[in-house]
Amino acid sequence: MASIDVEALKPVPAQITGLQLYSRFALAGAISCAVTHGGLTPVDVVKTRMQLDPLTYNKGMIGGFRQVIAKEGASALLTGFGPTAAGYFLQGAFKFGGYELFKRQAVDFLGYETASQNRTAVYLGSSALAEFFADIALCPLEATRIRLVSEPTYASGLVSGFTKIVKNEGVGALYAGFGPILFKQVPYTMAKFAVQEKVVEFIYNTMVDKKTASNGVQTSVNLGSGVIAGFAAAIISQPADTMLSKINKTKGAPGEGTVTRLIKIAKELGVRGSFTGVGTRMIMVGAITAGQFSIYGDLKKTFGATGGVDLA
């Protein structure tokens, strides 16, 4: 008598779709961004100090760590942790959840064949739209973080810093850096997702069989592709990142608009000044992006969110 394959008789779990699916994408993205950005707060503190005061903090990343610790104590390296974790939790939800959603919308609109043939354009467009909405959520918390890092005595934390800015300067001050943050984050995210997708596609087409790859191999692919994507994203967005730090350091002069301030800052910085701290930021963003894609990939499996669009 033939043996019965018990595993084959087990019901196949239904694949989740719609709001259930995209809310899980969003949660996975929120956790991955909050963990990685929050964990690298000390590096971000040093990078921001190098951008805001390059004459003092001119000894590189390791030297910058030593300077901050010697001057303010080790606890200063965690300045801005609250707004960083909270801001990037929200941003990650919109960014990753939105990216998956807009990719699906592109397939529904264009058809799978056309979307696949033009997948680089789909990656770029989907990531740009997702980042726009993510930045609306991120901007107020990023403004608070930069103020706390640039002025350590300004407030004791997220809530007090946020409240003080609104009370003294109005809600508009929280969005003074919205232009620069878009200029920074949209190209950053476009490069991040498009490069990561292309690197993953290359690896699975030439080096690894995706169908038989173990979970560990898939995590390694996400890590490696994330590092490369992070380097590309850091270089592209560095000038805007420097301007964002500058514009959020202090409030503008009476009657001075955001555009006027940005033009003035750009002239003061010049090309060389715009790339101050780029080496430190490449290390930071490479680590952040690698961590995000590996955590995001693992959490999607944990949450059962496996119904995303694969255009490759």
Rounded distance between C-alpha atoms, residue 197 and residue 188, angstroms: 14
The token pair that represents 207 in the structure block: 């080096």
Q: Which residue range(s) make up the domain with 262?
A: 16-303
Specify the pTM: 0.77
3-class SS at 180?
Answer: helix
Number of structural domains (the chain) is 1
CATH number at residue 180: 1.50.40.10
Q: Is residue 6 within a helix (H) or strand (E), and if so which, with residue range?
A: helix 6-9
Cα–Cα–Cα angle for 145, 84, 87, rounded to 5 degrees: 100
Query: Is residue 8 a part of any domain in this protein?
Result: no
Query: Is residue 4 a part of any domain in this protein?
Result: no
Q: Which of 30-34, 135-139, 280-284 has the lowest mean pLDDT?
A: 280-284
Q: Which of 17-26, 101-110, 148-157 has the lowest mean pLDDT?
A: 148-157
Alpha helices per DSSP H over 170-277: 178-206, 215-249, 258-274
The answer to whether residues 242 and 275 touch, using CB atoms and an 8 Å cutoff, is yes
Count of Cβ atoms closer than 10 Å to residue 123 Cβ? 23
Instruction: Give tens-digit pLDDT for 212-259.
Output: 889 899 999 999 999 999 999 988 888 877 777 777 666 666 666 667
Count of Cβ atoms closer than 10 Å to residue 192 Cβ? 29
Query: Is residue 309 a part of any domain in this protein?
Result: no
Torsion-angle region of 276 (φ positive above 0: left; ψ -120 to 50: alpha; else: beta): beta
Nearest residue to 93 (alpha-carbon basis) of 40, 131, 38, 142: 131
Instruction: Give tens-digit pLDDT for 84-93.
Output: 888 889 999 9
